[in-house]
Amino acid sequence: MKRRTLLATAAMAMGLATAGIAEDKTKVGFVYVGPVGDGGWTYEHNNGRLAVEEKFGDKVETVFVESVPEGPDAERVMTQMALEGADLIFTTSFGYMDQTINVAKKFPNVKFEHATGYKTAPNVSVYSARFYEGRAVQGTIAGRMTKSNVIGYIASFPIPEVIRGINSAYIHAKKVNPDVQFKIVWAYTWFDPAKEADAAKALIEQGADVILQHTDSTAPQAAAQAAGNVITFGQASDMSEYAPMPRVSSIIDNWAPYYIERTQAVMDGTWETVNTWNGIGKGMVGIGEISDAVPAEVKAEALALKDALGSGEYHAFTGPLNKQDGTPWLAEGEVADDGTLAGMNFYVEGIEGTIPN
């Protein structure tokens, strides 16, 4: 009898103890669109999560759910995280936008951070990176390197983020090589290695010798490697296992500083709704090492552009620029405002094809 009471007390004490610890810890949740091992987009978000754990150690607890489809399922996952006591939830794909807003309404005390979206609320911030700055550097290298003057572009979904990337790459490829032509394939997926490989092959068969991708897996890199004289760029992550050929450079997402900053803000109670959009200058967008397959003068040109973008002396969308149908968009020397960029739904002049709705 006594022993049983003792055990019960001990159990209760332990329960209280764990509850006490749990309250001290800041719980941070992450919702991922792909598997953490995709080697690209989700992989880098997960690196950001690991950086948060490393920085705060025992003071923080992180949880994540990977491969969450963009749709009602995401709402369920977020709700579950909020119910389990998450203080801060990062939803890391554009397609979680409405779900994030919906769940945030139900949990006013939980802070939400939605990546690459544009809808905010008192407890929902949005954050994104100016990937188009990296695309400008890629476009420059692509325009200089292509021999067939055909550049293949594997696009994912027709959202402003992706369209900005296409436009930025095209503008800068065209600037250094007026004969350049873009062939764009919409894969309608962020992650499907077999489909991405097929898309890369289709583009290569139609004469592309540079493949740019806005999908998350390394499959197009493998397809380019098999084809031989085709160059690619790492997307979201460095993908350096395919360097020096076919991968000649990359755009690297670096979310760690932002995730650490926002977690700190929740701990300090200073969290506020913000709309963060950082680029090369703040280090959110990194340019992976340009490999030796790129001639030195092209490399120097690309790095000079990177520095100009980073310091802010040059904007990737600087006039004169026309829209695809020929109507003027930006006058000589005028730069695009963030509002237009955030909602970009048109191609610039020179790109063939139409954007799917």
Please, what is the minimum distance in Å from the beta carbon of residue 220 to another protein? 10
Query: CB of 317: closest distance to another protein in angstroms?
Result: 24
> By C-beta, is 37 or 343 nearer to another protein?
37
**Residue 62 or 237 with smaller CB distance to another protein:** 237
CB-wise, 61 or 192, nearer to another protein?
Answer: 192
The residues of the shown chain that bind another protein, judged by CB under 8 A, are: 34-39, 67, 152, 158, 183-189, 191-195, 197-199, 201-203, 205-208, 217-219, 222-223, 226, 241, 352-354, 356-357
Closer CB to another protein, 42 or 140, in the complex:
42
Q: Which two tokens stand for residue 153?
A: 């572009």
Residue 316 CB, nearest approach to another protein (Å): 25
Question: Residue 238 Cβ, how far from another protein at the closest point, in Å?
Answer: 10
Least Å distance, CB 239 to another protein, is 8
For another protein, the closer CB: 234 or 279: 234
